[in-house]
Copies of this chain bind each other. A is one copy, B any other.
Amino acid sequence: MSKLPRNALIQKLNHLVALDPLEIGILNELCKENGYIAKGQSLTTHDFDSDIVTLLLGGWACRYKILNDGRRQITSFVLPGDLSGVRACLFGVTDYETEALTDCSVANIYGTDIVNLFKDQPRLAAAITWGSAREEAMMTERVVSLGRRTAKERMAHLFLELHWRLESVGVAERLAYELPITQELIADCLGLSIVHVNRTLQAMRKDKLLEYRNGYVVLKNSKKLKQICSFASNHLEGALHPDLVDI
């Protein structure tokens, strides 16, 4: 393993393919922190024709959609190591807003550089594509949660998924992590009312399943939590197609 510095994206991709020093060098060059976004600001500059992909390096953000009467649905949380705006850049489609939930540090990357990656660095391109595939898998799980799981099950699933993701970029402890968001945001993510989020949280505290106070989550009984929502992390894992590994 090389001693080059690692950012969250590299850590994430490295779970999939063992990156060689050259590739790590390229990524480090591409992913230099060069921006800062204050809490509440939009992550993606909405100048249409903006040709920028944003890599989140530190902090939390979310993607959401608002219906005409104000109902909001958060479609995903954006964590360190996640790219934002790839689709907008490649296909000129934006179908949601992205907002910083905390102050964030980011790397703004030219869309052209991403496209070049696809031309010149097939393994890296494949790894990035795998990132998108993982997002889609998480989306699938969210559909299942919202469609068929109860409030308690949804909640268990969310807290476990966040832990898993944060751990894979080195930002979580073994059974705890910082969750710097309000219950209202959790409600808008789980398709519940804020009151019911609170009720459910209380109940789970009482059952010694988890603690969640002051922006800090402790999974007190992760085994039980996993049972409750039949959590499996396989959808977050993967192995590259052999033909692609050896390019």
**CB of A207 closer than 8 Å to a CB of B:** no
CA distance A176 to B91 in the complex (A): 29
- A residues engaging B (CB < 8 A)? 16, 63, 65, 67-68, 71-73, 75, 87, 89-93, 95-96, 111-112, 115-116, 118-119, 122, 126, 129-130, 132-133, 135-137, 139-144, 146-149, 188-191, 230, 234-235, 237-241, 243-244, 247
From B75, B115, B119, B234, contact of A93 by CB (8 A): B234
Q: A16-B91, A91-B240, A93-B235 are in contact. List 4 more A-B contacts (CB 8 A).
A: A65-B140, A73-B148, A90-B126, A95-B234
A149 engages B241 (CB within 8 Å): no
> Main SS of the interface on chain A?
helix
Residue of B nearest to A236 (CB): B93
Contact between chains at B146 and A87 (CB < 8 Å):
no
Would you give 20 A-B contacts (Cβ < 8 Å), ordered by A? Answer: A65-B140, A67-B230, A73-B143, A73-B144, A87-B133, A87-B136, A87-B137, A90-B133, A90-B244, A91-B133, A91-B239, A92-B241, A93-B234, A93-B235, A93-B238, A95-B137, A116-B243, A119-B122, A135-B136, A147-B188
